[in-house]
Amino acid sequence: MVLSTNPWLYLPQPNPKAKIRLFCFPYAGGGTRIFRHWPNHLSDTIEICAIRLPGREGRISETPLTKLLDLVETITPNLLPYLDKPFAFFGHSLGSLVCFEVAHQLRQNYGIQPFFLFASGHPAPQLPDLDPPIHQLPEPDFIKEINKLNGTPKQVLEDKELMQLLMPILRADFEILETYHYTPKPPLNCPITVFGGLNDPEANETELVPWSQHTNNSFEHYLFPGDHFFIHSAQLEIFPILERSLIQCLDHQQSS
Interatomic CA distance for residues 104 and 150, integer angstroms = 31
Strands 9-10 and 46-51: antiparallel
3-state secondary structure of 41: helix
256 in catalytic set? no
The half-sphere exposure of 140 on its side-chain side, counting CA atoms within 13 A, is 0
Indicate the length of the chain as a whole number.
Answer: 256
Interatomic CA distance for residues 102 and 96, integer angstroms = 10
Among candidate residues 93, 96, 233, 256, the one labeled active-site is 93
Neighbours of 69 (CB within 10 A): 15
**DSSP states of 161-196 as a string?**
HHHHHHHHHHHHHHHHHHT------PPBSS-EEEEE
- Catalytic site residues? 93
